[in-house]
């Protein structure tokens, strides 16, 4: 009751027509789920007819059940937004809480989560800028007289990118409103399996009761806090896209796709960029492909410091940062100075402030991620989690969106379909793009043995590279098939221009169970890079030269 | 000098073949002067070369007769130099976007001469690769024009020498159609796509005639590289055999790109002045039947006819061979590429079906497997062939148009999904271009029978979807595929 009174006080501005006592009166539950859903469905059907009737909202609320909401989603990123909008479309009463904790450097952003603000969107746009940088060099070969060095203005690019991001933030706000999802700019945590506590920036508290809770708070870049100077002087991918000035000579620490993508676009716009790698690049990806990606970057002008770990970062009186690192093989220490140091040493889930321990929501102790079932359920009933926050899920926007929508359908009782996390394609937007779907060669070998798989491969030369006189040594395609039977395709890997656009259709064919002969039966599209996939015919086992010649 | 050398080489190797063959066919003394092969290919383009190489791999003693440069249309005056020019035009488009992305590249000057030199060098490089590939495969290359003789057994004569084989493949391709000066006075003052690749400078003022994909591509390249370009079409839209959605959008995009579009128009006459060509155009008012307007475009540097292509059969003397052709001269073949004369086959553009390099290549290879590996069922499936038009932005299409699907399945059994959006690349550019997409689905299971799109990146998007559609993918398969973010192709799997 106490909680409810507090709710009454703080919630008035949010839901002026709410009748808070209902939620407590009905808590404990006489309504069955299906009854509840029936009412909701009836309301849904009736909505059009009753449109404009005064008092409808009161009525709705009265019947919405023993809780304020059917669903409260914590986290307004790709997954959370998709889930909340979908649930609302299905007639559920939904609120979504989103709150961005500023970075150590003070960077903050609005609704939309990592993808929109500090991930996919700004990184792809900056990658496009870098590709244009390469295009300028190519254009000389195509007959344009260009100045020897072309100046790039960071502020112009960053401002354009940031404006686009802001327009997306706004778009998400409008969509939530259109779809009748209550948006609350509050930091959410769980009080129990039906109660969410929201905290505003000013410290004001709001209590929301709900039938179901979905946690989709994603993750944030990690800082290596044990390294002196790391937090004070370093930035992460949460800052880079929002910098007002070019980061200058930059050291990127880490070799995940985030690290390589950032280093790639910084190099592409003409900045002196170095990547420091402790062990391997693109861990978890096919390592032959990872090698091609980094080889291309080396040729592209990105410097690499292999097998090294940073020891400390000191700010010199000149304002530049002195980084001390040690070579893990020789043990020797090295120093160099940089204008910026970007940590890309992994991402950590945002689970700490959610109050999960009190509720007994089980986490993976090592990763800190929430343990989930195939239906995204946690160890606590009525509490679900998906996206980057959940253990073992790919950290990708489209999987979060799809999983979120399917979860909404299940919570609304509309379907029992589960998310299929197999054959999820992904693309790394490094200077030479790398797209893949299915298994890496290592993983295929581990599952079926070296004799159980047949690997078709080809080194090809994109037509756009020929006149531009660009080295195509890293443009490569690998199709991993079962060796026996119909030669079902297990994995498909592609490095080259437009890899993201190339791989999507193939990922669908894998989804449909494509075999090697399905590739052969499809007529190529000439002259494209993608046609090389359906022309592939040299096996690794044969030892023949896989270089494509002629049309 | 080069020619003498080739002739000598040819002579030496012909002798070698004669010696080998004579031993094996000693009972045919009467044909001793005729060189015999297992497989004789007329035409060293995409289809002919692919068929010849595959046959040679399968052990057939093979020869290729080519009158011009190896590689045919695709390599010399088609796909390859066209795509090089399109790539150059894409760079011209990027120039508009550089400042939006932060690069300072104002006033970049373009040199057509540099581009042409590089393009020619690349094409010559490919010609050499083709030659080497044939040599490596021990395939005899015969330079010259082939003509069927009156011999009882199908035989061709090249440079006065007779050559024969139990299997002869005609893969002579096609060439741009032209109008005679009788049909349009001064028509011969214009060029075709073949002539486009000989242009030494960028024409300041161009007029393209035609509404097919070649006209669209040529107009796009010229306009984007800075030529003031007019496109003359007989009706109101380009690409009229494409899905109406694409046809309408492409017509709009041409105009967005600054191409001056002359609808319901035809060239009446062409004349030459000291300032260039004067192209007289007659435009009909579709509302009023007899209302015609005559206009003149002056100072035209390049008049390009892109009004279709015709098969290369003249001079082959196929008429006397019992090889049937259609009314437009295309060789009629069955699904196994057999012509009406046993022992003579045809693939590629000369057959007039799906005029595409990969189609000719695949058909040539399938035939080789049938003839020389005993694979009786080896034939190309001509359904669901994906194709791309390198317009600005590019078009990708596979399968049936909406109209075709409705005609064969009934309107009530066809469901259409469509979307259009601004690709993210253009999110921060002042130059904008939409991406449009359409799925044509049939039946209760919503089998996807057609996929059509135009937009940035559509050229590279199509291939993978084509595999899935060939496999019989349904709309549900599209829905079950997880997107790749952020791409344009993901819109296909998130369509509602």
Phi, psi of B465 (to 5 degrees): -65, -35
User: Is B465 in contact with A508 (Cβ distance < 8 A)?
Assistant: yes
Dmax over Cα atoms in chain B, in whole Å? 78
Chain A segment 214-273 residues within 8 A of B by beta carbon are 269
**Region B64-88 average pLDDT:** 95
Check CB contact of B467 with chain A, cutoff 8 Å: yes
Please indicate, yes or no, whether the overall pTM of this predicted structure exceeds 0.80: yes
Strands A303-305 and A273-276: parallel
Chain A segment 137-196 residues within 8 A of B by beta carbon are 138-139, 141-147, 150-157, 160-161, 163-164
Residue B22 CB burial class (10 angstroms; 0-12, 13-18, ≥19) = middle
> Is residue A9's pLDDT more than 70?
no
- What are the DSSP calls for B216-278, one per residue? HHHHHHHHHTT-EEEEE-SSS-S-TTS-HHHHHHHHHHHHHTT-EEETTEEEEEEEEETTEEE
Residue B1 CB burial class (10 angstroms; 0-12, 13-18, ≥19) = exposed
| Model confidence band, residue A15 (pLDDT cutoffs 50, 70, 90) | very low
Rounded-to-integer distance, Cα B260 and Cα B253, Å: 11
Closest CB to A518: pick one of B461, B470, B482.
Answer: B470
How confident is the model over A436-452, as pLDDT tens digits?
999 999 999 999 999 99
User: Is B460 in contact with A498 (Cβ distance < 8 A)?
Assistant: yes
User: Is A424 in contact with B482 (Cβ distance < 8 A)?
Assistant: yes
Residue B286 CB burial class (10 angstroms; 0-12, 13-18, ≥19) = exposed
Average per-residue pLDDT in chain B? 92
**Which chain B residue's Cα is nearest to A524?**
B358
How confident is the model over A299-313, as pLDDT tens digits?
999 999 999 999 999
Task: Report the range of poorest mean pLDDT among A40-44, A417-421, A429-433, B437-441.
Answer: A40-44
User: Is A152 in contact with B102 (Cβ distance < 8 A)?
Assistant: yes
Helix (H, G, I), strand (E, B), or coil: what is residue A418? Answer: coil
Task: Report the range of poorest mean pLDDT among A125-134, A151-160, A403-412, B107-116.
Answer: B107-116
> Is residue B5's pLDDT more than 80?
no
Check CB contact of A536 with chain B, cutoff 8 Å: no
Closest CB to A160: pick one of B114, B428, B488.
Answer: B428
A-chain CB neighbours of B460 within 8 Å are 497-498, 501-502, 528-530
Strands B344-346 and B174-176: unpaired
Give Rg (Cα) of chain B.
25
A-chain CB neighbours of B467 within 8 Å are 505-506, 509, 514, 518-519, 522, 534
> Is residue A213's pLDDT more than 50?
yes
| Model confidence band, residue A400 (pLDDT cutoffs 50, 70, 90) | very high
Check CB contact of A547 with chain B, cutoff 8 Å: no
Check CB contact of B473 with chain A, cutoff 8 Å: yes
B-chain CB neighbours of A425 within 8 Å are 481-482, 484
Strands A69-74 and A205-215: parallel
Judge whether B485 counts as a catalytic residue: yes
**Which chain A residue's Cα is nearest to B103?**
A152
What is the pLDDT at residue A52?
38
| Model confidence band, residue A45 (pLDDT cutoffs 50, 70, 90) | very low
What is the pLDDT at residue A17?
34
Residue A344 CB burial class (10 angstroms; 0-12, 13-18, ≥19) = buried
Strands B155-158 and B161-164: antiparallel
**Region B387-403 average pLDDT:** 98
Closest CB to B463: pick one of A156, A425, A531.
Answer: A531
> Is residue B145's pLDDT more than 50?
yes
Dmax over Cα atoms in chain A, in whole Å? 78
User: Is A144 in contact with B464 (Cβ distance < 8 A)?
Assistant: no
**Residue A257 marked as a ligand binder:** yes
**Region B455-464 average pLDDT:** 97
User: Is B103 in contact with A132 (Cβ distance < 8 A)?
Assistant: yes
Higher pLDDT, A551 or A461: A461
Structure token digits, residue A66:
């023993």
Query: CA of B91 to nearest chain A CA: how many angstroms apart?
Result: 6
What is the pLDDT at residue A36?
36
Chain A segment 327-386 residues within 8 A of B by beta carbon are none
> Is residue B92's pLDDT more than 80?
yes
User: Is B489 in contact with A423 (Cβ distance < 8 A)?
Assistant: no
Rounded-to-integer distance, Cα A457 and Cα A438, Å: 16
**Which chain A residue's Cα is nearest to B91?**
A139
- Contacts within 8 Å (CB) and 24+ apart, B202-205: B202/B110, B202/B112, B202/B226, B202/B227, B203/B227, B203/B300, B203/B301, B203/B302, B204/B228, B204/B299, B204/B301, B205/B229, B205/B276, B205/B297, B205/B299, B205/B300, B205/B301, B205/B302
Helix (H, G, I), strand (E, B), or coil: what is residue B199? Answer: coil
Among A320, A300, A322, CA closest to A312: A322
> Is residue B16's pLDDT more than 90?
no
Task: Report the range of poorest mean pLDDT among A48-52, B327-331, B393-397, B486-490.
Answer: A48-52
What is the pLDDT at residue B286?
83
User: What spatial distance separates the first Cα and last Cα of chain B, rounded to whole Å?
Assistant: 65
> Is residue B353's pLDDT more than 60?
yes
Rounded-to-integer distance, Cα B350 and Cα B172, Å: 6
Query: CA of A108 to nearest chain B CA: how many angstroms apart?
Result: 21
Helix (H, G, I), strand (E, B), or coil: what is residue B112? Answer: helix
8-state DSSP, A543: T
Pick among A150, A157, A526 to test the B interface (most B CBs inside 10 A): A526
Rounded-to-integer distance, Cα A457 and Cα A465, Å: 20
Query: CA of B470 to nearest chain A CA: how many angstroms apart?
Result: 7
User: Is B461 in contact with A522 (Cβ distance < 8 A)?
Assistant: no
What is the pLDDT at residue A550?
61
Express as a percent the part of chain B with pLDDT over 70.
94
Pick among B53, B132, B486 to test the A interface (most A CBs inside 10 A): B486
Give Rg (Cα) of chain A.
26
Rounded-to-integer distance, Cα A43 and Cα B55, Å: 71
Beta bridge partners of B157: B147, B162
Cis peptide before A46 (omega within 30 of 0): no
**Region A87-102 average pLDDT:** 97
User: Is B386 in contact with A525 (Cβ distance < 8 A)?
Assistant: yes
> Is residue B392's pLDDT more than 90?
yes
User: Is A467 in contact with B87 (Cβ distance < 8 A)?
Assistant: yes
Cα–chain center distance at A197: 26
What is the pLDDT at residue B105?
87
CB pairs under 8 A between A and B: 276
- What are the DSSP calls for B77-111, one per residue? HSHHHHHHHHHHHHHHHHHHHHTTTTB--TT-EE-
User: Is B80 in contact with A527 (Cβ distance < 8 A)?
Assistant: yes
Task: Report the range of poorest mean pLDDT among A271-285, B25-39, B360-374.
Answer: B25-39
**Which chain A residue's Cα is nearest to B106?**
A146
A-chain CB neighbours of B83 within 8 Å are 463, 527
List of residues 6+ apart from B496 with CB closer than 8 A: B417
User: Is B464 in contact with A508 (Cβ distance < 8 A)?
Assistant: yes
> Is residue A89's pLDDT more than 70?
yes
Average per-residue pLDDT in chain A? 89
What is the pLDDT at residue B32?
52
Query: CA of B248 to nearest chain A CA: how many angstroms apart?
Result: 23
Task: Report the range of poorest mean pLDDT among A80-94, A142-156, A242-256.
Answer: A142-156
3-state secondary structure A451-491: HHEEEEEEECCCHHHHHCCCCCCCCEEEEEEECCCCCEEEE
- How many Cβ atoms sit within 10 Å of the Cβ of residue A232? 12
| Model confidence band, residue A551 (pLDDT cutoffs 50, 70, 90) | low
């Amino acid at each position: 009751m106490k909680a409810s009174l507090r709710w009454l006080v703080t919630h008035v501005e949010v839901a002026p027509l709410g009748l808070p006592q209902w939620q407590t009166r009905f808590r404990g539950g006489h309504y069955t789920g299906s009854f509840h859903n029936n009412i909701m469905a009836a309301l849904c059907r009736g909505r059009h007819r009753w449109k404009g009737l005064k008092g409808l909202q009161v009525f709705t609320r009265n019947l919405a059940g023993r809780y304020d909401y059917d669903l409260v989603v914590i986290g307004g990123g790709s997954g959370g937004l998709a889930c909340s909008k979908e649930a609302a479309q299905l007639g559920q009463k939904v609120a979504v809480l989103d709150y961005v904790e500023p970075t150590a450097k003070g960077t903050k952003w609005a609704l939309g989560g990592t993808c929109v603000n500090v991930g996919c969107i700004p990184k792809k746009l900056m990658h496009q800028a870098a590709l244009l940088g390469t295009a300028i060099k190519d254009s000389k070969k195509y007959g344009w007289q260009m100045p020897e060095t072309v100046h790039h203005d960071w502020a112009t690019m960053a401002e354009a990118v940031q404006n686009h991001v802001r327009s997306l933030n706004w778009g998400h706000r409008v969509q939530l409103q259109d779809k009748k999802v209550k948006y609350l700019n509050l930091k959410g945590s769980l009080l129990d399996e039906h109660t969410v506590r929201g905290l505003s920036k000013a410290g004001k508290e709001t209590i929301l009761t709900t039938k179901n809770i979905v946690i989709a708070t994603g993750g944030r870049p990690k800082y290596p806090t044990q390294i002196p100077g790391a937090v004070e002087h370093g930035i992460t991918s949460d800052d880079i896209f929002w910098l007002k000035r070019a980061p200058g000579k930059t050291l990127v620490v880490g070799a995940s796709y985030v690290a390589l993508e950032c280093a790639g676009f910084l190099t592409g716009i003409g900045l002196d960029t170095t990547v420091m790698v402790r062990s391997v690049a693109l861990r978890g990806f096919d390592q032959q492909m990872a090698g091609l990606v980094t080889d291309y970057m080396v040729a592209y002008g990105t410097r690499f410091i292999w097998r090294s770990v940073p020891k400390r970062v000191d700010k010199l009186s000149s304002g530049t940062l002195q980084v001390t690192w040690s070579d893990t093989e020789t043990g020797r220490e090295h120093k160099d100075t940089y204008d910026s140091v970007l940590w890309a040493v992994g991402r950590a889930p945002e689970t700490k402030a959610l109050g999960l321990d009190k509720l007994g929501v089980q986490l993976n102790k090592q990763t800190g991620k929430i343990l989930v079932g195939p239906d995204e359920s946690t160890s606590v009933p009525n509490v679900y989690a998906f996206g980057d926050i959940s253990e073992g899920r790919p950290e990708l926007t489209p999987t979060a969106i799809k999983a979120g929508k399917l979860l909404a359908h299940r919570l609304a009782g509309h379907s029992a379909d589960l998310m299929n996390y197999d054959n999820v394609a992904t693309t790394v937007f490094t200077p030479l793009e790398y797209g893949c779907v299915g298994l890496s060669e290592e993983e295929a070998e581990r599952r079926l043995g070296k004799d159980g798989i047949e690997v078709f491969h080809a080194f090809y030369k994109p037509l756009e590279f020929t006149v531009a006189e660009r080295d195509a040594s890293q443009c490569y395609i690998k199709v991993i098939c079962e060796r026996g039977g119909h030669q079902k395709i297990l994995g498909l890997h592609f490095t080259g221009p437009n890899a993201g656009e190339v791989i999507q259709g193939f990922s669908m064919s894998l989804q449909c169970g494509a075999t090697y002969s399905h590739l052969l039966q499809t007529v190529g599209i000439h002259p494209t890079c993608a046609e090389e996939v359906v022309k592939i015919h040299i096996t690794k086992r044969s030892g023949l030269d896989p270089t494509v010649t002629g049309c | 000098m080069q020619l003498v050398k080739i002739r000598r080489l040819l002579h030496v190797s012909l002798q070698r073949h004669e010696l080998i063959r004579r031993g094996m066919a000693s009972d045919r003394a009467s044909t001793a002067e005729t060189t015999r092969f297992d497989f004789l290919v007329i035409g060293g383009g995409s289809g002919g070369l692919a068929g010849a190489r595959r046959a040679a791999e399968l052990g057939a003693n093979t020869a290729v007769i080519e009158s011009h440069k190896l590689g045919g249309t695709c390599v010399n005056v088609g796909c390859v130099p066209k795509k090089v020019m399109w790539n150059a035009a894409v760079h011209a488009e990027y120039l508009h976007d550089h400042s939006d992305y932060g690069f300072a590249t104002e006033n970049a000057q373009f040199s057509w001469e540099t581009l042409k030199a590089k393009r020619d060098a690349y094409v010559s490089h490919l010609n050499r690769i083709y030659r080497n590939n044939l040599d490596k495969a021990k395939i005899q290359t015969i330079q010259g024009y082939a003509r069927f003789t009156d011999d009882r057994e199908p035989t061709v004569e090249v440079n006065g020498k007779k050559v024969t084989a139990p299997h002869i493949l005609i893969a002579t391709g096609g060439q741009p159609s032209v109008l005679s000066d009788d049909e349009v006075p001064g028509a011969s003052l214009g060029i075709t796509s073949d002539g486009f690749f000989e242009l030494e400078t960028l024409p300041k003022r161009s007029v393209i005639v035609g509404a097919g994909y070649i006209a669209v591509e040529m107009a796009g390249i010229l306009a984007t590289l800075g030529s003031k370009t007019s496109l003359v079409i007989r009706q109101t839209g380009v690409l009229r055999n494409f899905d109406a959605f694409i046809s309408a959008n492409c017509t709009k995009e041409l105009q967005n790109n600054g191409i001056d579009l002359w609808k319901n128009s035809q060239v009446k006459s062409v004349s030459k002045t000291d300032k260039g060509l004067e192209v007289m155009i007659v435009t009909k008012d579709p509302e009023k039947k007899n209302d015609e307007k005559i206009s003149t475009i002056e100072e035209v540097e390049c008049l390009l006819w892109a009004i279709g292509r015709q098969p290369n059969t003249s001079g082959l003397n196929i008429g006397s061979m019992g090889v049937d052709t259609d009314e437009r001269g295309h060789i009629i073949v069955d699904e196994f590429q057999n012509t009406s004369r046993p022992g003579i086959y045809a693939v590629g553009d000369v057959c007039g079906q799906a005029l595409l390099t990969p189609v000719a290549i695949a058909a040539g290879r399938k035939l080789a497997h049938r003839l020389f590996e005993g694979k009786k069922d080896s034939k190309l499936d001509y359904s669901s062939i994906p194709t791309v038009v390198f317009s600005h932005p590019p078009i990708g299409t596979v399968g049936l148009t909406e109209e075709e699907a409705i005609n064969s399945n009934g309107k009530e059994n066809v469901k259409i999904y469509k979307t259009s959006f601004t690709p993210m690349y253009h999110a921060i550019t002042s130059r904008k271009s939409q991406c449009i997409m359409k799925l044509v689905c049939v039946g209760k299971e919503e089998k996807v029978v057609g996929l059509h799109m135009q937009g940035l990146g559509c050229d590279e998007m199509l291939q993978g979807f084509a595999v899935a559609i060939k496999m019989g993918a349904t709309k549900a398969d599209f829905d079950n595929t997880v997107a790749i973010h952020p791409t344009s192709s993901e819109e296909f799997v998130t369509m509602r």
